[in-house]
Chains A and B, each alone.
Chain A
Amino acid sequence: MATTLPPPKIEILPVPDRSGNGHVGGGQNLIPDVANLRVAQQYSPPASSSAIWVGIAAICMSFAAFTSALIVRQASNDWRHITLPSVLFLSTLLLLASSVTLEVARRRVASYMLGADSNIASPRLWLYLTLGLGLLFVAGQYMAWLQLRSQGLYLATNPNSSFFYVFTALHALHVLGGLAGLLRAIRKLGNATLRRSTLNATAIYWHFMGVLWIYLFLLLWLKI
């Protein structure tokens, strides 16, 4: 830059030290000492980082309960294997791809926030890509249900189909929650209120949806 700019007048409120060990901000802060910032108004307290893991723990317990129900149920004598609808292989790939695009998006957002990149369109695009892939995944799940129905397998037809619908529907419901989180992140990016911790939590949750799906996919493939 040819001219020297005065430091930007951005309202930054002090962040109290809450960790009890002397670190201010605890690494959640996105305010390094660089001029030319496009930084969200930071307000304290620094966001709780443990919450998303707490939520994930609860979701894991629920799916563990359903898994044990499946294992018990499978022992009964009316269990006949059903073939996994083929569209699931594709939708799995889409969901995994969405994790990749989300990681790209995260890095783009970070470089945008730090001022290294002035283009908001790029991070926004990659977030929308993630959103789109997620929506395609849910659509894929719906197509899988249609494929099952065309074989005459409905929710109550036999125990396998019951579990198939229950597992995939509940996972899809949680994915919809993740999509809502992504939308929220996109909106906050647009009006410069996106905190790194928010994006981190959204991303952790989204990746967890992928990991959970891989687990469910294998479970359904091998057990159902």
Chain B
Amino acid sequence: MHETSAAPAVVHGPPTTFLSKHVFSLDHKVIGLQYYTLALFAVVVGMVLSWLMRIHLGWTNAAIPGLQALSPNGAPGGVMTPEYYLQLMTMHATIMVFFVLTTAPFAAFGNYFLPIQVGAEDMPFPHFNMMSFWTTFTAFLILVTAFFVPDGPPLAGWTSYAPLSAIGKDAGPGQGTGQVIWAAALGVFCIGQLLGSLNFISTVLDMRTKGMTLSRLPVTCWAWFITSCMGLTAFAVLMPATILLILDHVAGTSFFVPSGLVLNDQLVPHSGGSTLLWQHLFWFFGHPEVYIAIIPGMGIVTHVLITNMRRPMLSMKAILYSMWALAFLSYMVYGHHMFVSGMNPFSSLVFSFPTLMITIPSTVVVLIWIGSLYGSKLRINTASLFALGFISMFVSGGVSGFFLAQPSIDIMLHATYFVVGHFHMVMGVAAMFGIFSGTYFWFPKMTGHMMNETIGRIHFWLTFIGTYCIFMPFHYLGWAGNVRRYAAFTDDFLKPLIPVHQFITIAALFTGAVQLLFLYNLIHSRFRGPAAPANPWEGTSLEWIMPSPPPWNNFGGKDPVVYHDADQYGVKTASGADYIMQNSPEQALATSEGD
């Protein structure tokens, strides 16, 4: 028997019109799905951009069918110009980092499941929540318009270093209007994030149901809470940076542009700004941002694993403390992007110390995951396959950090494909695996249908092998000194590496095509998949007590009462089940743990 408290009124009423149900919804679940759809659309765009980039790198003079129609200036005769390569690269990175990696694991899954997992009907500020999605969507629209202005999108990379990004269109195609649009889109994105973080933090602090103490929160809630604290502080620094950058463009200020610069034989009319100031502001945001991209994934993987291992983690406390340590340290390490930037070389050593230290909490988490596998009853399904794949990818991506954290080695590896391999493995693959794992795990709950397990497994296998084939070779290229952000490889020492690039391109196109399986599975299962029970994975947390899909007010107007944490797996119960749900007053007879 599961207890509930007296029926309260709800945060908002049920939706009545089509618009309030599906478009301007106050329901956190709908908002979560809207974020997911946005991320899905964005990842397709970002992936197509990466294919274009990879084809050009492997076969620089090839005419790509259809590209001229997309951009007559950027690809006359279908052959990509170097500037268009950089423009596609800038947009690829910006779309992926912001609209996929910050959106899906955090905003999409977090919006959907955080209120449910704490036992609330919704977040405390549903109007802000709705605004946060539509603001993010608007930011995406603004960003995409950069493709359609005459000079095209900016080419300065997602890092957009000044002065290249600040002095205007003479610095290169897209550096005028395109760059301003880019900065504006990011500024608007920051507002959306702040509204979202506000809701997430308030939900965890103020909306937990009876019995849901902080120590009983599922690990995913902690991951989203930590991420929103980081988002609050990091995006609140990016916004000022974009404001100052826009002012340098449109108002003639000189925040980032020093005097004495000469472009096209003309003196640039700015003076006294600081080039490095942009880097400091950007990376103070930028480094926490990459942890914002990965920590929700770590939470999801932990959550999926304990359900599928049928036992709790060896120490959930160790994982939680490590996540907090990662979040905290992430603010202190940002200078490792600037080792050879011209900042004081002593500062480089200072920054390298916490960067090396951050290995420790990462290792703790990985060892706890692996150690918890020992003696477990690991169930293999697509969700757990992606979770296990995450561990492998996170190790691969993390280990290259050992090199990059040291300034002396960074002398050789800075701005090479070694860095590109590093961040793609942790962000482009591991974080994506976290999103996939969460999708396969929670799709039944969100839609009421099961996904096709066979197609899911094929998707996993081909993606797992494919992404290793794409991104491992990046490290070899970097080790040999292959500089990044090159539109073509004309240098003597780079020409012999072109066959490696061609291999990578083929792997990338293949792996990209495999994702069609995932898309098909999503869409087909949404409408034709077999009906999903309330608790297909025998999970303990509160999302499994509600029907699949949940009603508009989550718990049907009755607040659940919580008696346990979410780790009651591998226990002996009177009913014979090996788990106890959080809202069940039943106590374990014994744990199943032995030696």
Contacts and interface: CB of A to CB of B under 8 A. Distances in A.
Chains A, B in direct contact (C-beta < 8 Å):
yes
Nearest to A62: B236
Interface stretch (A10-18, A32-40, A122-130): A10-18
Interface stretch (B135-143, B204-212, B486-494): B204-212
Contact of A73 (B201, B205, B241, B273): B273
A48 B202 contact: yes
Nearest to B277: A72
A53 B253 CA distance: 33
Given A45-B124, A55-B198, A65 B237 contact: yes
Nearest to A158: B272
Given A48-B125, A72-B280, A20 B208 contact: yes
B213 A20 contact: yes
A2 interface: no
B283 to A, nearest CB: 12
Contact of A156 (B121, B124, B251): B251
B252 interface: yes
B233 A61 contact: yes
B233 A73 contact: no
B201 to A, nearest CB: 5
Nearest to B558: A16
B589 interface: no
A13 B194 contact: no
Interface in B242-265: 243-244, 247, 251-255, 258-259
A18 B277 CA distance: 45
Contacts of A49: 206
Interface stretch (B4-12, B58-66, B419-427): B4-12
Given A43-B9, A155-B253, A61 B202 contact: no
B197 interface: yes
B543 interface: no
A73 B407 CA distance: 27
A16 B559 contact: yes
Interface in B185-227: 194, 197-199, 201-203, 205-213
* Residue of B203, B240, B252, B259 most packed against chain A (CB within 10 A): B240
A51 interface: yes
Nearest to B214: A20
Contacts of A51: 124-125, 198-199, 201-202, 206
Nearest to B204: A50
B240 A69 contact: yes
Nearest to B236: A61
A50 B229 CA distance: 13
B261 to A, nearest CB: 14
* Residue of A13, A58, A72, A170 most packed against chain B (CB within 10 A): A58
B232 interface: yes
Contacts of B213: 20
B255 A73 contact: yes
Contact of B237 (A15, A43, A62): A62
A16 B8 contact: yes
Contact of B207 (A45, A57, A76, A77): A45
Given A58-B233, A155-B251, A156-B254, A68 B280 contact: yes
B236 A58 contact: yes
A61 B237 contact: yes
Interface string A116-134: 0000000000000000000
Given A20-B210, A58-B194, A69-B240, A45 B8 contact: yes
Interface in A64-112: 64-66, 68-69, 72-73, 75-79
Nearest to A41: B9
Contacts of B212: 20
Contact of B277 (A14, A44, A47, A73): A73
Given A16-B559, A51-B124, A62 B240 contact: yes
Contacts of A73: 255, 272-274, 277
Contact of A78 (B202, B247, B272): B272
A170 B207 CA distance: 32
A65 B206 contact: no
A54 interface: yes
A158 to B, nearest CB: 8
A166 B201 CA distance: 29
Contacts, number: 140
Contact of A58 (B11, B197, B254, B255): B197
B273 to A, nearest CB: 7
A159 B125 contact: no
Contacts of B5: 16-17
A80 to B, nearest CB: 11
Contacts of B202: 48, 50-51, 54
A64 B208 CA distance: 32
B284 interface: yes
Contacts of B259: 78
B210 A156 contact: no
Nearest to B124: A48
Nearest to B5: A16
B281 interface: yes
A59 interface: yes
A18 B273 contact: no
B344 to A, nearest CB: 13
B306 interface: no
A47 B559 contact: no
Nearest to B203: A48
Contacts of B255: 69, 73, 159, 162
Interface string A159-203: 100100010001000000000000000000000000000000000
Contacts of B592: none
B183 to A, nearest CB: 15
B388 interface: no
Contacts of A65: 236-237, 240-241, 281, 284
A156 B6 CA distance: 62
B239 interface: yes
A48 B237 contact: no
A48 B274 contact: no
Nearest to A63: B240
A161 to B, nearest CB: 9
A16 B210 contact: yes
B452 to A, nearest CB: 39
Contacts of B277: 69, 72-73
A159 B201 contact: no
8 contacts: A45-B11, A45-B121, A48-B202, A51-B125, A62-B239, A75-B274, A155-B251, A166-B247
Interface of B: 5-6, 8-11, 120-121, 124-125, 194, 197-199, 201-203, 205-213, 232-233, 235-237, 239-241, 243-244, 247, 251-255, 258-259, 271-274, 276-277, 280-281, 284, 559
Given A66-B240, A69-B240, A69-B277, 20 more contacts: A16-B6, A17-B5, A18-B206, A20-B208, A20-B213, A44-B9, A48-B203, A49-B206, A51-B198, A54-B198, A54-B232, A59-B236, A61-B237, A62-B240, A72-B280, A73-B272, A76-B272, A78-B259, A159-B273, A162-B253
Q: Which 7 A-B pairs have the closest CB atoms?
A: A156-B252, A61-B236, A48-B124, A48-B202, A48-B206, A78-B272, A65-B237
